[in-house]
Amino acid sequence: MSEPPTPSGSTAEGAPGVVAQPRPGRARALRETLAGLSRLDGVTGGLLVTPDGLVIASELPSRYPAEALAALGATLGRELEVADERLGRGPFTAACFAAEDGTMFVSGSRVGFVMLLGASTVDAPAVLRALGDALARLD
């Protein structure tokens, strides 16, 4: 995918002949954030999904069913949002589901939900901190 053209005569920091690069768009920032989170120690991959379960971006190994995981993540994320509202606990931020064969993280974002999948041995508190920090930078 090519970058949008830079207006004619635009230069980086006034340097003659150096064309300024446009700032990355929100979609690109989300994809880059997901890619970075997917490279955390113990994390296998991740997804960014809409509230109704459509895949926006995926950083999953090909053996994982992205669409099925997106539907699961959106369902869990929405249920957690509704439960937190009912209980008066404030807005849902993130949840961690751990089992013998792996760990799943679900977090709300402006566009839907971020899901991360990891090993059962993943450092869950570290991943939750990184996830929260990454999403805060996007706001």
Q: How confident is the model at residue 29 (pLDDT cuts 50, 70, 90)?
A: confident
Per-residue H/E/C for 96-125: EEEECCEEEEEEECCCCEEEEEECCCCCHH
- Hey, what domains does the chain have and what are their CATH numbers? 24-138 (3.30.450.30)
> What pTM did the predictor assign?
0.78
Q: Which pLDDT tens digit goes with each residue over 126-138? A: 999 999 999 898 7
Strand (E) or helix (H) holding 132:
helix 124-138
Euclidean distance between CA atoms 81 and 75, whole angstroms: 10
Q: Which pLDDT tens digit goes with each residue over 117-128? A: 999 999 999 999
